[in-house]
Every structure is written in C-alpha cells, then in structure tokens.
C-alpha cells in the first residue's frame, strides 16, 4: 500500500546560488520509476527532508513538462533550510509529494494575469511566472508586481530584471523605503496595483506573500472591480504531514496543505487576517 509518510531519495543534480540567502536545487529521484510517474502542477509543494535533520514544505518551481528533474528555490530561514543550503551536487534529500492544490492555470488561459508578491518570498509564484512565459501565446498580458519594505529585501533582483525583459511582461517593483540607487517605484505594492488598467472581463490575479500585504492587495483589487473568484492566493502554515492528516495547518475548516495551499479568496475570506487563524 502507498505510504504517504515515506520519502523517496532524490539526488541533487545542480545547485545555483541565486542571491546571498537564496539557492535553487535541481533534483532527480534516485529511483527512475518514481521520477517517471512524478507529476505536479504549479503551486504544489513537496516535503523536503535532510537525513536526520528535519523536513520542510517547499514549492516546486520547475515546469511540469520537465519530466526528468524538478527544482526547488529555497530561502534560508532557519535550522532546516540552513542545513539544506550546505548541500552540494551528488548529495541526497528525501522527498514526499507533490501535495496540495495548485494555481488555477486552466482558468487563467486566455486571460491577463496579475501576479502580486510581497515581502521576502515569492517561490510559490515563480512556477506560475515560468509557466506563463513558456506558454506565452496562451495568456494575455502578464503583470508582475512585487513590493518590499527595504531595497535590500529584494533578494532576487536578478530574476525580476530578467523577467522584465520578456515580451508582454510588465514588471513593477516598489520599495517602501528605497535607497538612492533604486530604479523603481517608492511606495506600497497596492500603489502599483492602482496603476494597472485592468480588463475586468478577463483577468486573474495570483498573490503570495505576507498576509497583511495580501489583504491590502485584495482590498485594492476588489476596489478596482475584480470579483472574489478572480483573486487567488497561496498560504503558509505549520505543516507536519502535507496531506491533510496532522491537523497543524488548519485555517478555520480548511487544511492548507490539502485544500490549498492555493485558495480562491472567497474560500478563506472569513479567516484571512482574523487573529488566531
């Protein structure tokens, strides 16, 4: 019987230091059969474990069509991610997954996509951006909006610069407290949203970041006329199992790991931002 607790060994094929605190791992299952049947959607995540150190939930950022490997981009946040950052090609990790529900890529076909990220991390949306860029003709305009507090918080600057050079992609960055050399906006990500000329008939927005930022962005998007069904977000909670069993990730009646981590705003509106959830 399939055991959802049991990890499969994967070997690091490549390691890229994206910025001082961020690195990417390209992984491949040791067992080729496991690699062959591994399928995922943008927004889904794996539970990544390091021998006897710990296990953490990490989004999959590679393209679902790349079937020979999969990528994770990880920010050093604490004990386990720090230990993972020291791994080199040839080293092994344990993988369970993929888990959760991904982004509404089918709903987004033929539509403009507004990607809003904030704070330090945007990994769950990296997969979306890559997915859109690789299938450029199937989607309308792509807006990538990122807000940070300090200029230095834009920890993956190079990546945003690369995206901004792509055709039909509008990258806008805002820093609340920018330094002198900051070439983009000063202010909040909501002000970036405000500058968009949204086509309300055919837009999907996807959000990821600190919940206060997402709440502000949602309020702004709704003010501009987007319906709740057009607003999607990815959430993070304490995850021990990843598949709806341990109970630790619950937000009201939702299991973030299984019902999410990507939610339509209407599904979590009652609890998002409510103290204690």
Helix axes 123-134, 157-164, angle to 10 degrees: 20
Q: How far is the CB of 248 from ligand FAD (least distance, A)?
A: 8
Task: From the list ligand FAD, another protein, ligand FES, none, pick the one residue 2 interacts with, judged by a Cβ distance below 5 to 8 Å according to partner type.
Answer: another protein
Closest CA relative to residue 132, chosen from 143, 122, 123: 143
Asked if 20 interacts with another protein (CB under 8 A), we say: no
Token pair for 197:
């000329």
Angle at 44 between CA 221 and CA 170, to 5 degrees: 40
Nearer to another protein by Cβ, of 82 and 161: the residue is: 82
Nearer to another protein by Cβ, of 78 and 183: the residue is: 78
**Binding letters toward another protein, positions 36-55, x by CB under 8 A:** -------------x-xxxxx
Nearer to ligand FES by Cβ, of 120 and 257: the residue is: 257
Task: From the list ligand FAD, ligand FES, another protein, none, pick the one residue 7 interacts with, judged by a Cβ distance below 5 to 8 Å according to partner type.
Answer: another protein
Residue from 74, 129, 206, 231 in contact with ligand FAD (CB under 6 A) = 74
Asked if 4 interacts with another protein (CB under 8 A), we say: yes
Pairing assessment for the beta strands 8-19 and 22-29 based on DSSP bridges: antiparallel
- 13 by DSSP, 3-state: which? strand
* H helix intervals, 136-231: 157-164, 189-194, 211-223
Nearer to ligand FAD by Cβ, of 14 and 138: the residue is: 14
Nearer to another protein by Cβ, of 69 and 277: the residue is: 277
Q: N- to C-terminal Cα distance for the chain?
A: 35
Task: From the list ligand FAD, another protein, ligand FES, none, pick the one residue 275 interacts with, judged by a Cβ distance below 5 to 8 Å according to partner type.
Answer: another protein
Closest CA relative to residue 109, chosen from 234, 231, 203, 233: 203
Token pair for 229:
């069904």
Q: Rounded to whole angstroms, how far apart are CA atoms 107 and 85? A: 36
Nearer to ligand FES by Cβ, of 145 and 262: the residue is: 262
Q: How far is the CB of 245 from another protein (least distance, A)?
A: 7
Token pair for 258:
């299984």
241 annotated as a binding-site residue: yes
Do residues 146 and 160 touch, judged by C-beta distance below 8 A? yes
Q: How far is the CB of 240 from ligand FES (least distance, A)?
A: 5
Neighbouring C-beta atoms of residue 166, cutoff 10 Å? 15
Q: Rounded to whole angstroms, how far apart are CA atoms 231 and 226? A: 7
Number of residues forming the site for another protein (CB under 8 A): 41
Angle at 69 between CA 66 and CA 70, to 5 degrees: 85
Asked if 270 interacts with another protein (CB under 8 A), we say: yes
User: What sign does the CA torsion over 215, 273, 148, 257 have?
Assistant: negative
Residues that bind another protein (CB under 8 A): 1-9, 30, 49, 51-55, 77-78, 92, 94, 236-238, 240-241, 243-248, 250, 252-253, 255, 258, 270, 274-277
Residues that bind ligand FES (CB under 6 A): 239-242, 244-249, 255-257
Residues that bind ligand FAD (CB under 6 A): 45, 54, 56-59, 73-75, 77-82, 121, 123-124, 236-239, 261
């Amino acid at each position: 019987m399939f055991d959802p607790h049991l990890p499969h060994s994967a070997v690091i094929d490549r390691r890229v230091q994206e910025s001082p605190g961020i690195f990417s791992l390209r992984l491949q299952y040791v067992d080729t059969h496991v690699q062959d049947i591994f399928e995922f959607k943008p927004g889904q995540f794996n539970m990544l474990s390091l021998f006897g150190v710990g296990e953490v939930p990490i989004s999959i950022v590679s393209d679902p069509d790349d079937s020979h490997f999969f990528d994770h981009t990880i920010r050093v946040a604490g004990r386990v991610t720090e230990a993972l950052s020291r791994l080199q090609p040839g080293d092994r990790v344990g993988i369970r997954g993929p888990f959760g529900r991904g982004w509404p890529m089918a709903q987004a076909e033929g539509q403009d996509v507004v990607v809003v990220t904030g704070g330090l991390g945007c990994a769950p949306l990296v997969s979306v951006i890559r997915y859109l860029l690789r299938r450029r003709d199937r989607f309308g305009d792509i807006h990538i909006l990122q807000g940070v507090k300090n200029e230095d918080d834009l920890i993956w600057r190079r990546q945003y610069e690369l995206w901004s050079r792509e055709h039909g992609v509008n990258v806008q960055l805002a820093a609340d407290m920018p330094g002198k050399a900051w070439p983009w906006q000063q202010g909040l990500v909501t002000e970036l949203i405000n500058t968009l000329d949204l086509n309300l008939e055919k837009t999907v927005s996807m959000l990821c970041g600190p919940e206060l930022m997402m709440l502000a962005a949602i309020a702004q998007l709704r003010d501009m006329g987007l319906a709740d069904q057009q607003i999607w977000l990815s959430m993070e909670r304490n995850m021990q199992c990843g598949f709806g069993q341990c109970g630790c990730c619950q937000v009201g009646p939702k299991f973030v790991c299984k019902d999410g981590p990507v939610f339509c705003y209407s599904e979590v509106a009652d609890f998002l931002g409510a103290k204690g959830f």
